[in-house]
Chain A
């Protein structure tokens, strides 16, 4: 049994540390999450301590929450993870409107973009941050949109694009371009930038001297939309985060809300959710591997693989009628009973997919050109990757077997037989290798579940959470009343907050949900896996060739929907 650190243990350790004001700490243990409220002056020392002594090696997320009626208006919320024991810890600190908090970038360099986002969305200042600029909204945007007093529908148009700029690194000469080097702008409308990423680089010949990313071209205000919609209506918005594997986002969100409601979904719903999650993991990896091949000039892998993605879409379509943005799950279970023959359809798919994976691994991984373009290109070490906040296939490609499905199993993943494929060098080749092996493992999981579907209902039947079936709505007055009340009043979870994470195709997908007891989330923060990964891009491509940078972007599988939200 892994040893989890208790609050008493933490307290006694904190007391030994003279520089911490332990008497002001508030320890909260609610909904199974451990949280500590601390004064803002302690943040950096505390983080340093937790990182070095208590092995909280991951900074998962930083975000703000706005409470306009409070004297100290904002909460700055940090989520930490100990990757050995799987323990999570939430540190919260209150800051007033014009105050700032010390940046934790000296402890984790992965704090960079998360702090910039909190600054952009709330106006919270982080002292010591080398480059505290806007990140998601455009440069002409005035105000901080996630503050409660900013109206959700107030648009501000933008007339210009920023020129090439590089002020993203401390000690660099800022926006002054070196006349001896070639400035190059790639994107956002560029095939290799997947439509919405912009990379600016300065080149010496073909070598990248420095690079900078501009994101936010697909910032469509997911978090603000979530705050203005009832809990059930947020589900379609989650579809559009990582649209390559939409059901996974549904599942992550519903799982977070269910934890807040303290309900457990029936075994059958859990099984169907695993099927959906693993099928969409395959679909996501198909897009990553297929378009990654296209970016390197290997078009045939795309045509091969997309046949199978269509098959997965057919499976989804059979279940709900939609292909891509499916909204399959409901809070409390699944939307409907799978049609007859659905499991057999999946089993047939598994058989054909097995052969396809063998073929694709021969087609790509044994291809001499592909190997030369990817092997040993932009490698990253595990410690570096953790410091940036990498999770998912990219972290596993470095050799670290970190997977939430194993670390903290949910929905009975611990009952299933599957392995966690890992790479060795963290280069681009290993990333594809890991993805292809993961497809194999996912097929294995799906097959095990489909052969052994638990009996029972596909959803809970709590009248205050789940809508009644249509035959009851149209058939009897209780059903009609129930439907009406739930639609009008909505689901009302108790006051409180949870952070819940699932292993999505790109890594840890986390939802931090704050409820004030009303029918809409008070705050919903998504921790997208891409965001942490992509912030490392300028530093990892430095010194490599421009063509390698294209291969690196493709291998990261950046999905703008969840990157920009």
Chain B
């Protein structure tokens, strides 16, 4: 009786000890993780980064993604007026065409802004009407810019005035007056000119009107059906460049396709040389494996640099960079798959008097096809993403357009558009590769 009691107590103690040790280990791991993150926090100088972070840039970025601004500019010397979306040449309203919130008569221009704000360009003065503040008059003249506030009002923080420049920034818009010109920014929601630019006859039509036009025989552009004209106008849209973007997406997918499939085609025969059951020569096997390791180890980045030196920028360079890197990965995986091949099937095929090539064709290939296909298709999907990144370095595909748009630091709506397209593209390739995998491996 006493003996079992003791052993029970001992066992209980041992269990408690195990639990304590485990607890210490898990606390140790937790502490190590925390310590590492703290080290990184200071090594990356995160506190300094907080100070340097440009939150105003973030605000610009976010606002630009979901809205656009229209510039209304008057040249103070000649008196000429121009209205341009995002201030770009491509988005300038042609003569005689104005947005409905701008009215001109007898040299006076009235611009209505949201929330009851408005701006009037009179020949001698500019008047900004702020409902909660009053009328602000700015008079540009040769000697300087004169600012007249409403009676009894102090200079508010949202007006920035100096002898040469007055800027009024409110939630409704922005007015800048210099000697040379007067400019109003009006912010509006959405992506303007996404389908049709201002020079298109289809600009500003509602979807139902467009549908009606598409079906009618009344040609807006003689010699071309409305449907064809619409497609052409969208495709050649100068602001959003849908045609170029579609090409870029196609180029990116092409890079991934050529790279992945090329790598698979090259590495399959090489994998036989690296598999122990097909290549008895140890030295050949060793050499092949080291080649695969080398090619994988020299990173895709280094291959991209080397290749872009030889072939110049473009999709071919990207495809070759993917091809070379993946030849190493595929070679390794395929040779492992080949080493796991069941010999019985090969012997069975051999017993019918098959030649070597027939033994491979009917004894080996059917066994490794599922592994091979599923790996290749998986890589096809992941290489679509890599091709975007490689495209940014070598200069091809959607990666290039994306980096170009980001570098301008003002076309954030285009960046948003491209990012959406990249996400959709990768997801589509994901489903395509999943569908093909099911179809080719499980189905048939």
B partners with A: no
